[in-house]
């Protein structure tokens, strides 16, 4: 009878302690997993150092909470140490799973990083003006993002593995990306980034052509519009209207806001060209029946 009672008490006690450990899962997520994901989303050369700091801090906080909970069970020092070691192993396992999950979708992450660096400027879409050195910007962004692949190649959770490279005899369980996988990932990234670079350069050339007025057009405008210019200058109402319009365009040009009105002028230009073509087509169609009549 005593043996049966002691066994049931021990089983109940074990189940309750397991529940206590399971309740720590939420704390592990808040104190370990979420900070870890933040570091993985924004990698840099100090990434693995920050990851090790997160593990140490998470173990410290969750261990203090577990020790407090186990105190109610009057656990021996040996039993408490055993539970703490199990908790530390669980934290390490969860961290490894989180890192591997991130590596599995690393291409999407590096493309997101490259897009933020190359196509955005302080959170706003970058303007591909003629003064911007796209080649230099592209090379810088590509080099920074490509280095991320090597950061995730080998698991460096332990500080002793911090200097490991492909040239060393790396244990298989530490390899997150094989040399072939890293090469293929970089090649895939290069193909996509090159296409984005070509698109950006084409956009820059198109903007340069659209904003650049040939000198002969200005001369012809002055010659053929001389009478109209004199008429506007001699009329106070038209002069003030022209001055206001010029001030508005000067304001838009100074603050680089011309792109707001450019689509309107493009539509007006296309409409004018279509109207002229329609007039010419109708004129040519009217001349054709006259020739047949003659």
Among 145, 180, 212, where does a domain finish?
A: 212
Q: In this structure, are 147 and 174 located in the same domain?
A: yes
Q: In this structure, are 203 and 165 located in the same domain?
A: yes
User: Which residues are paired to 125 by β-bridges?
Assistant: 120
Q: In this structure, are 7 and 59 located in the same domain?
A: yes
Q: In this structure, are 91 and 136 located in the same domain?
A: no
- Nearest by Cα to 154 from 143, 168, 164: 164
Q: In this structure, are 13 and 72 located in the same domain?
A: yes
Q: In this structure, are 128 and 169 located in the same domain?
A: yes
Tens of pLDDT, residues 221-270: 778 777 877 877 788 888 888 888 888 878 877 776 766 777 777 777 67
pTM above 0.75, yes or no: no
Q: In this structure, are 80 and 149 located in the same domain?
A: no
Among 74, 104, 134, where does a domain finish?
A: 104
Looking at residue 9, its pLDDT comes to: 60
| Domain hosting residue 176, numbered range | 120-212
Q: In this structure, are 129 and 181 located in the same domain?
A: yes
What DSSP assignment string belongs to 209-237?
A: HHHPPPHHHHHHHHHHTHHHHHHHHH-HH
Q: In this structure, are 31 and 69 located in the same domain?
A: yes
C-alpha 6/C-alpha 291 separation (Å) is 118
Give the confidence band of 10 by pLDDT, cuts at 50, 70, 90.
low
Residue 69 lies in a domain: yes
Q: In this structure, are 137 and 76 located in the same domain?
A: no
272 or 179: which carries more pLDDT confidence?
179
Q: Give the number of domains in the chain.
A: 2
41 or 265: which carries more pLDDT confidence?
41
Among 212, 240, 258, where does a domain finish?
A: 212
CA distances from 283 to 69, 272, 279, 292 (A): 95, 17, 6, 15
Give phi and psi for 191, each to the nearest 5: -60, -45
Tens of pLDDT, residues 103-115: 999 999 999 999 9
Q: In this structure, are 53 and 142 located in the same domain?
A: no
Q: In this structure, are 130 and 166 located in the same domain?
A: yes
Residue 248 lies in a domain: no
Residue 254 lies in a domain: no
Residue 129 lies in a domain: yes
Residue 17 lies in a domain: yes
Residue 176 lies in a domain: yes
Residue 143 lies in a domain: yes
């Amino acid at each position: 009878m005593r043996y049966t009672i002691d066994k049931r008490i021990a089983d109940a006690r074990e189940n309750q302690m397991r529940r206590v450990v399971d309740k720590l899962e939420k704390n592990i997520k808040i104190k370990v997993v979420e900070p870890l994901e933040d570091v993985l989303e924004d990698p840099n050369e100090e990434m693995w150092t920050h990851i090790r700091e997160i593990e140490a801090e998470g173990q410290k906080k969750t261990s203090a909470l577990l020790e407090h909970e186990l105190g109610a069970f009057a656990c021996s020092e040996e039993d408490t140490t055993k539970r703490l070691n199990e908790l530390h192993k669980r934290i390490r396992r969860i961290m490894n799973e989180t890192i591997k999950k991130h590596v599995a979708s690393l291409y999407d992450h590096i493309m997101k990083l490259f897009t933020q660096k190359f196509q955005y400027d302080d959170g706003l879409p970058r303007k591909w003006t003629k003064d911007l050195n796209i080649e230099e910007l592209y090379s810088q962004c590509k080099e920074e993002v490509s280095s991320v692949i090597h950061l995730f190649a080998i698991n460096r959770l332990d500080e002793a593995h911090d200097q490991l490279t492909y040239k060393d005899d790396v244990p298989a369980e530490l390899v997150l990306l094989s040399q072939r996988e890293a090469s293929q990932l970089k090649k895939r990234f290069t193909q996509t980034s090159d296409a984005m670079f070509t698109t950006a350069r084409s956009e820059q050339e198109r903007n340069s052509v659209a904003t650049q007025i040939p000198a002969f057009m200005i001369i012809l405008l002055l010659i053929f519009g001389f009478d109209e210019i004199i008429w506007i200058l001699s009329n106070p109402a038209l002069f003030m209207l022209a001055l206001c319009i010029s001030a508005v365009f000067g304001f838009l040009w100074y603050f680089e806001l011309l792109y707001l009105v450019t689509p309107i002028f493009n539509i007006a230009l296309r409409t004018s060209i279509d109207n002229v073509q329609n007039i010419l087509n109708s004129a040519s169609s009217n001349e054709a029946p006259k020739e047949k009549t003659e």
